[in-house]
Chains A and B, each alone.
Chain A
Amino acid sequence: MTKEDAKLAHALVSKYVALYQDKYSKAPHINRHREKWAMQDVIDSVGYDRSKELLEYYFKITKPGHPLTWFFYNFDKIDENMVKLQQDKERRKFLLEQTKKMVEENE
């Protein structure tokens, strides 16, 4: 791991800690130095920006305790689901326009 990579992985672990504190009003029990290696794997898979989005989304779902280990094992599923939801958002936007047109044409 280069120094630059380590910095990014550390930044994401810090992001996790901040999100955890916001949600539970206490700091999580994690070993930052060990977790940075797993976080680096997440960055290698989906990139830094997407990893950050996934972490933010992780805290919107109902997983009790939001353990970091669970995130490392399931970030790909969260990613897949986010893609699906984004596609649905676009579809709903399109349908809303179509529906509006249909209603106006029949008034």
Chain B
Amino acid sequence: MNSEAALISSVCNNKDISTVLAENIDDVFVSHKDVWDGLKSYYNKFRAVPDVSVLQEKFKDFEPVSVKGETAYYLDQLKNDYLTSRIRNMLLNSGNSLKTNAASRVISDMSSELMKLTRLTNSVRDVDVTDYELAEKHFDAVRTRSAEMGGSPGIMTGFKAIDLAYPTGMAPGHLIVMIGWAGRGKTWMSSYLACKAWEQGFKPMIVSLEMTPENMRDRIYTMLGSGLFKASDFAKATVNPDDFGSWAKKKFLDTNGFILVSNEGSGQVTPTTVQAKIDQHKPDIVILDYHQLFTDSNNSKAPTERNMNISREFKNLAVRNNIPVIDITAATMDDVSDQDAPPLLSQVAWSKAIEYDADMAMAVHRTPDTNIIEVVSRKNRHGTDFNFFLDWDINRGIVKEIYEQPF
């Protein structure tokens, strides 16, 4: 049985074209594309689904199939057949491609193709506003989750200002964008949030394309030690082994993992690679450091297009895996700005994508040659805007919130 013919026949029998239109999957029709287009065009013109005989009259080659099931069933079958054939083709092509191309290139092409196919394995979700019983179930679930997590459905940041202004916390599905000029504390701030999440019993995963895992680990130890160790001692490996050993033994006893991922400066890392790491480690929060060093799944060459795609794909990672994702982004240098203040959203070339995708965007800015870091919200979809300062002894990992102008 041809699954395309079966789906079209089912739509005509059950008169429920909306089931298929909602999925926006025109490209899965191949052999019966003309019939499907004809059916849609009839529906758009007359706002009714025709009898299957009307299609037969117009498309002489079309042979309807006798169907008894729901349209959704045949839709699933068609999607499955389509995916099977595309995966088979992709594997064959990749096998052939391996003969002439480097394995890394083949993997990159496969990733791009897989990303396109993933669209068919995800589905959009609809909620009927009048279905208040469903809403009550949702509220129950959020209440239970909040109670389990100490008052908020998301992960708290540990900063009073952010936790009050962003009452959901870093909740599942949220994309949090942290922008800043190069070397002004973005990575420190996001690593600190990871430490706070870990201390609350969550499992963070930092994907750092900028630093080695060892360097990042030194930073994490410094922050978790909160004054016990110096970052410079970790860097020079002059930390007292006994002190460190006894502290670490106590600190890491019966705790969740804290995963650091790095590409060691080589190889492209796409959102598909991040997805594989999420599948492997099952983290509760993911930090991606930093945006400009990632490659989108389409391997786009134009920088703005690439960065916009990455932004959208990071948001999809958050939603698909039901975890918060922090995207660290360097502000884009231009000819008419200094770098003396926290960057505006407009100082990121793909700011429109951030406006669409981010649940929360904050700018982080360390005043040069001081310990003072300013944190200001640039977008907060779930609360009010905020601004505050941190007095951050980076070498000792001690952080103090300040709510006065420090200079």
* Interface residues, chain A, with chain B CB atoms under 8 Å away: 57, 60-63, 70, 74, 77-78, 80-81, 84-85, 88-89, 92-93, 95-96, 98-100, 102-104, 106
Contacts and interface: CB of A to CB of B under 8 A. Distances in A.
Contact of B336 (A61, A96, A98, A104): A61
Contact of B338 (A60, A80, A93, A104): A60
Given A61-B335, A98-B386, A103-B161, 14 more contacts: A60-B340, A62-B333, A63-B335, A77-B336, A92-B376, A93-B405, A96-B389, A96-B403, A98-B384, A98-B387, A99-B387, A99-B403, A100-B403, A103-B403
A89 B341 contact: yes
A62 B337 CA distance: 8
Q: Is the interface of B mostly helix, strand, loop or mixed?
A: loop
Contacts of A95: 376-377, 385-387
Interface string B323-366: 00000000001011111111010100000000000000000000
A89 B404 CA distance: 14
Interface in B34-55: none
Interface string B380-407: 0000111111000000000000011100
Contacts of B389: 96
Contacts of A98: 384-387
Contacts of B88: none
Contacts, number: 72
B160 A61 contact: no
B87 interface: no
Q: Is the interface of A mostly helix, strand, loop or mixed?
A: helix
B165 interface: yes
Q: Which of B337, B340, B374, B377 has the most CB of A within 10 A?
A: B337
A88 B341 contact: yes
A62 B389 CA distance: 26
Interface residues of B, number: 27
B164 interface: yes
16 contacts: A74-B336, A78-B336, A92-B374, A92-B387, A96-B387, A96-B403, A98-B386, A98-B387, A99-B165, A100-B403, A102-B161, A102-B164, A102-B384, A103-B403, A106-B160, A106-B164
Contacts of A106: 160, 164
Contacts of A103: 160-161, 164, 388, 403
B164 to A, nearest CB: 5
Interface of B: 160-161, 164-165, 333, 335-342, 344, 346, 374, 376-377, 384-389, 403-405
Q: Which 4 A-B pairs have the closest CB atoms?
A: A95-B387, A100-B403, A60-B338, A99-B386
A57 B338 contact: yes
Contacts of A104: 403
B390 to A, nearest CB: 13
Nearest to A84: B344
Given A89-B341, A95-B385, A96-B403, A102 B335 contact: no
Nearest to B376: A92
Contacts of A77: 335-336
A70 B335 CA distance: 10
A81 B343 CA distance: 12
A85 B386 CA distance: 17
A80 to B, nearest CB: 8
A25 B337 CA distance: 23
A57 B338 CA distance: 8
A81 B404 CA distance: 26
Nearest to B374: A92
A60 B335 CA distance: 10
Given A77-B336, A92-B376, A95-B386, A85 B341 contact: yes
A47 B365 CA distance: 33
Contacts of B344: 84-85, 88
A102 B377 CA distance: 15
A57 B376 CA distance: 23
A98 B164 CA distance: 12
Given A85-B341, A88-B344, A99 B336 contact: no
B260 to A, nearest CB: 32
Given A99-B165, A100-B404, A103-B160, A74 B335 contact: yes
